[in-house]
Amino acid sequence: MDEEIEIPPFFLCPITLEIMKDPVIVSTGITYDRDSIEKWLFSAKKNSCPVTKQDITDVDLTPNHTLRRLIQSWCTLNASHGVERIPTPRPPISKSEIEKLLKDSPSSHQNQVKCLKRLRQIVSENATNKRCLEAAGVPEFLATIVCNNDEALSLLYHLDASETVLKNLLNNKKGNDIVKSLMNIMQRGIYESRAYATLLLKNILEVADPMQIMTLKPTVFTEVVQILDDRISHKATRAAMHILVNVCPWGRNRHKAVEAGAISMIIELLMDESFSSDRRGQEIAMVVLDLLCQCAEGRAEFLNHGAAIAVVCKKILRVSQTASDRAVRVLLSVGRFCATPALLNEMLQLGVVAKLCLVLQVSCGSKTKEKAKELLKLHARVWKESPCLTRNMILAYPS
Q: What is the pLDDT of residue 93?
A: 80
The 10s digit of each residue's pLDDT in 116-127 is 999 998 888 776
- Interval 232-248 mean pLDDT: 96
Question: In terms of pLDDT, which residue wins out, 315 or 105?
Answer: 315
- Interval 148-154 mean pLDDT: 93
Question: In terms of pLDDT, which residue wins out, 305 or 61?
Answer: 305
- Interval 182-201 mean pLDDT: 94
- Interval 75-88 mean pLDDT: 88
The 10s digit of each residue's pLDDT in 6-31 is 899 999 999 999 999 999 999 999 99
Let me know if 287 is exposed, middle or buried by CB neighbors in 10 A (0-12, 13-18, 19+).
Answer: buried
For helices 218-230 and 251-259, angle between their N-to-C axes, nearest 10 degrees:
50
Q: Residue 77 and residue 66: Cα distance in Å, rounded?
A: 17
- Interval 228-238 mean pLDDT: 95
- Interval 215-231 mean pLDDT: 96
Burial 117-141 (b: 16+ CB within 10 A, else e): eebeebbeebbbbbbbbbebebbbb
Q: In the chain, pLDDT over 90 holds for what percent of residues?
A: 66
Name 32's bridge partners: 24
Q: What DSSP state is assigned to residue 12?
A: B
Q: What is the pLDDT of residue 3?
A: 56
Q: Residue 19 and residue 25: Cα distance in Å, rounded?
A: 15
Q: What DSSP state is assigned to residue 371?
A: H
Say if residue 85's pLDDT is above 90: no
Confidence (pTM): 0.82
Amino acid at 328: V
55-64, 154-163, 224-233, 357-366: range with highest mean pLDDT: 224-233
Task: Give the dihedral sign, CA 94/95/96/100.
Answer: positive
Q: What is the pLDDT of residue 108?
A: 83
The 10s digit of each residue's pLDDT in 327-359 is 999 999 999 999 999 999 999 999 999 999 999
Q: What DSSP state is assigned to residue 105?
A: G
- Judge whether 269 and 313 are in contact, CB under 8 Å: no
